[in-house]
Amino acid sequence: MNQVSELTQAGGKAGGGTGYSLIDADSHMLEPFGMWAERMDAKFRDDAPRVVMDYKGKPGKWAVFDTFSMLISRDKDGAAETNEGGGGFDPEKRRGGWDPAVRLKDMAADGVAATVLYPTYGLHMFGSKKEDLQRALFGAYNGWLSEFCGHAPRAFAGLGMVSLFDIDQGVRELERCRKLGLRGALIWGLPPETKPYFVPEYDKLWRAAEALDMPLHLHLGTYSKENNFLSPEHAGNWGLIYCEMINSNASLQRSLLHIIFSGVLDRFPKLRLVMGEADIAWVPAMMQRADRYYGVRKRRGHDLNLAMLPSEYVRRHVWHTFITDAFGVKTQGMAGLTERIMWSTDYPHDACTFPNSRQIMGENLAGVSEEDRRKIVHDNVKSLYGFEGV
């Protein structure tokens, strides 16, 4: 029996008699810290991610690399793995974040037949300004992720990470990700101000992504952080931390609008983009606002001409993942987004729905037709990533 059929029989169906299984569009790895030091060139190993206890006098276990630091556990000894909710950000607390056999068991217990895999610590590495170090970190992760996915290729779709300080090298890494069997790649959610996505230099990347049939992903947190709000200096400043978390999807909106209004999607009509973990309620409002401003451009005397309305590019090119967004679920149909939104669990992070994903998903999609529900929890992600036999 293959991994997918085992998952389905263990509870992967989306509900009694529906005839389709749940596919998680956005879950995460919990990268073991030693992986980078083992796989990176020796000259980068001193800058590899590491665990530091009581970093800068702040108690607990901290992840530290380059200019970034993040509290991952207040338990100095590392708590035993638990199936009650997520494991936070400590690899010791959630073995399924790096052990494929345990991951498959957790998915079966949660009723999930297949999943798309994003990094955890890798997301924050997009904030590094050390070009060679970032490329080394990403390259090591991509190779490791490919091996993880190889344990159950019908159940796992891995997303590589691509550094774009040097576009030519970024294209080569995207090609490598494709050869490794990864199903797409992450790029900056918001690139540096000196290199926004509307500059023509990125055309090499868009062209390669089209040719390789690799969707590009912009996930929350994948931008240059001048001020790391998770650092020890801000520990306990919950007002700042929550403000940053709530506003984080604005970075993805900005990048998406840069791509649309600079004509990228006219030049590359087969380019596919995914907005990761940014919810969906904002999308119809942004589409309406973009169309309204574009509609009065002539009266303003602006020489801006696209082949379609901005909202049409969103419908044609952009997919969105969400965990729980009841208001977004109610409004997405009015914007024609039913074939572009994808449900996710966010396993194993604190916000995840594990181990009650089927119940929470059902509550979140209350009132959605069975046809649309199937698209949101199965068909859309299956089609985008080429899952077979799920």
Residues in the chain: 390
Contact predicate 341/332, CB 8 Å: yes
Could you check whether the bond before residue 284 is cis, i.e. omega within 30 degrees of 0? no
Q: How far apart are CA 116 and CA 97, in angstroms?
A: 13
Q: What pLDDT does 66 receive? A: 82
Largest CA distance in the chain: 65
Query: φ, ψ for residue 342 (rounded to 5)?
Result: -140, 130
Cα-flanking dihedrals φ and ψ of residue 17, to 5°?
A: 75, 10
**pLDDT value for 230:** 58
The architecture that CATH gives domain 3-47+93-385 is: Alpha-Beta Barrel (3.20)
pLDDT at 17: 47
Q: Which conformational region is residue 224 in: left (phi greater than 0), alpha (psi within -120 to 50 degrees), or beta?
A: beta
pTM recorded for the entire structure: 0.91
Mean pLDDT along residues 118-133: 93
**Helix 282-295 crosses helix 310-317 at what angle (to 10 degrees)?**
140
pLDDT digits (tens, 9 = 90+) for 269-317: 999 999 999 999 999 999 999 999 999 999 999 999 999 999 999 999 9
Q: For residue 87, is pLDDT > 70?
A: no
pLDDT of residue 86: 55
> CB of 1 within 8 A of CB of 155?
no
Q: Distance of alpha carbon 119 from its chain centroid, rounded?
A: 8
Name which residue leads in pLDDT, 20 or 71: 20
Q: How confident is the model at residue 10 (pLDDT cuts 50, 70, 90)?
A: very low
Q: What is the pLDDT of residues 313-334, one digit of tens each?
A: 999 999 999 999 999 999 999 9
Q: What is the pLDDT of residue 93?
A: 83
* Percent residues over pLDDT 90 in the chain: 73
